[in-house]
Amino acid sequence: MSSKDHQSVWASCLKIIKDNVNLQSFKTWFEPIEPVKLEDDVLTIQVPSQFFYEWLEEHYVTLLRKTIKRELGVNARLEYRIVVENSSGNNSPFTIDYPNYNTGANKNPEIAAPLVMGTSIKNPFVIPGLKKVNIESGLNANYNFDNFIEGDCNRLCRSAGYAVAQKPGGTAFNPLVIYGATGLGKSHLAQSIGNEVKQNFPNKTVLYTNAERFTNQFIESLKNNSINDFVHFYQLIDVLIIDDIHFFANKAKTQDIFFHIFNHLHQESKQIVLTSDRPPRDLEGVEERLLSRFKWGLSADLQAPDFETRVAILEKKMYADGIELPKDVVEFVAYNITNNVRELEGALVSLLAQASLNKKQIDLDLAKKIVKNFVKNMSREVSIDFIQKAVCDYFEVPVEKLKEKTRKRQVVQARQLSMYLSKNFTKHSLKAIGKHFGGRDHSTVIHSCQAIQNLMDTDTKFRESVDDLQKKIQMSIS
């Protein structure tokens, strides 16, 4: 084999390997390898890290063995040279050769086994000798599926999260990326998954952390020359939940280490759950290779809750705390705080605190004072959802009936009155109003408004009912 040099041999090996692995795997695990030397049918290659070496040994040993033998013959061997951090004070890396073992006890005799390094590496993330079952999950036990209120705004996310919790790593939702604006319950849902997994699979190791903490741990591992321990720690995890991955933006080295951890966990069918304030496609400053992996599973968005869901959230909170509030107060809070579940619950806590500390009765006036602290400019316009709810409560008709094709007199009247009030109290176009009522067109809205006006002109009792509803709506925005 003297006619061949290490460069040409490795180039030939890469051609074979490229035909046997997918393109992404080839770029990740084989392109960074550098051939070092070729002596007596032993090819030495240099890899970037201990973790890199172990990944090759675990996943590609057979392919490497066959490839090397094909190029160099049946006596071919492979040795590794691993670049490790220099702890002597200067920043230049040095290498450790992992020589070939020619013993029958070697697990993979054609691939050189590593020597055990003389110095032990301290793990800054776990106590030395700590077992997987002792790793703290970082989860808040108060976050679970039972107190995560389901609505149209979050049904997909909740269903996907529950499916993942029943079969972590075994669904198509891996990774599961939950995205949405601040305060909509991303952390709540992500930790609910973790708590459910812990309950269903006590032997699985679950870890919840956020991207900022992950980054700080990585920086510390760089300072302490303990990157291997950092990586190995995260490789132990069966269900990894990382909050706020948008924090990785423009942090190239953090992204690189997370990329390798992600690959390992995914390859081992471990579950990955990520949250972000925006969908993967809109994450700026994040490498494309990471974004492509985020898109492997399911990206599900959490939307702002509708009026009914906001009321349900408040009622659930009230029930859990053993308190009861007037219905008009609950609806007022739910109507005015629309985009943030955290603020919604915060307003309720503030309301209770004010009533308790100042010995005041909880009424609509107190609610208005409290809500002003949470809403900078309280809207002067009601929503169509609020009007529908108010009318349906008055006539004792389910809200969903307004959107159905039924001709029952009570439902038709409630629908027409809701359209009438929507036209008077909102700035929505006739087309937009019709859309809120099962996709009806603008002519139906015109007809409904005319029908209500005619009925008010001829039926005094009905007119009084409309006046009552209008006062209630007016009071909610005064």
Residues 6+ apart with CB under 8 A from 376: none
Q: Where do you find CATH 3.30.300.180 in the chain?
A: 6-98
Query: 54-58, 116-120, 129-133, 285-289 — which one is most confidently predicted on average?
Result: 285-289
The pLDDT value given to residue 87 = 37
Query: In the predicted model, is pLDDT for residue 259 greater than 90?
Result: yes
Range among 226-235, 251-260, 351-360, 365-374 rated most confident: 251-260
CATH 3.40.50.300 is right for the domain spanning 145-302: yes
Residues of the chain with CATH 1.10.8.60: 307-372
CA distances from 450 to 26, 456, 457 (A): 69, 10, 11
In this prediction, residue 179 carries a pLDDT of: 92
- The pLDDT value recorded for residue 236 is 86
pLDDT at 175 over 60: yes
Task: Please state the rounded mean pLDDT for residues 263-277.
Answer: 93
In the chain, residues under CATH classification 3.40.50.300 are 145-302
pLDDT of residue 53: 78
DSSP state for residue 418 in the 8-state scheme: H
**Three-state secondary structure call for residue 29:** helix
Return residue ranges of the chain for CATH 1.10.1750.10: 384-477
User: 67-79, pLDDT tens digit by residue?
Assistant: 988 888 888 888 8
Considering the four listed CATH numbers 3.50.50.60, 2.115.10.20, 1.10.8.60, 1.20.1600.10, the one that applies to the domain covering 307-372 is 1.10.8.60
247 pLDDT above the threshold of 60: yes
Run of H or E residues at 411: helix 409-425
The pLDDT value recorded for residue 356 is 67
- Fold exhibited by the domain 6-98: GMP Synthetase; Chain A, domain 3 (3.30.300)
Alpha helices in 167-226 (DSSP H): 186-200, 211-223
pLDDT 10s digits, 305-337: 877 888 888 888 787 777 778 887 888 888 777
Q: Is 182 helix (H, G, I), strand (E, B) or coil?
A: coil
What confidence tens digit (pLDDT) does each residue in 115-148 have? Answer: 222 223 333 444 344 444 457 888 998 899 988 8
- What strands, in cross-sheet order, belong to the sheet with 94-98? 34-39, 42-47, 77-84, 94-98
Question: Residue 88's pLDDT is what?
Answer: 39
pLDDT for the residue 476: 66
The rounded distance, in Å, linking the Cα atoms of 400 and 72 is 73
Cβ neighbour number for residue 411 with a 10 Å cutoff: 17
Tens-place pLDDT, residues 345-377: 777 778 777 766 766 777 777 777 777 766 554
Say what the pLDDT of residue 85 is.
Answer: 42
- Residue 163 pLDDT grade (very low, low, confident, very high; cuts 50, 70, 90): very high
- What is the per-residue pLDDT for 242? 95
pLDDT at residue 134, rounded to an integer: 59
User: Do 391 and 469 form a contact (C-beta atoms < 8 A)?
Assistant: yes
- The CATH fold assigned to 384-477 is Chromosomal Replication Initiator Protein Dnaa; Chain: A; (1.10.1750)
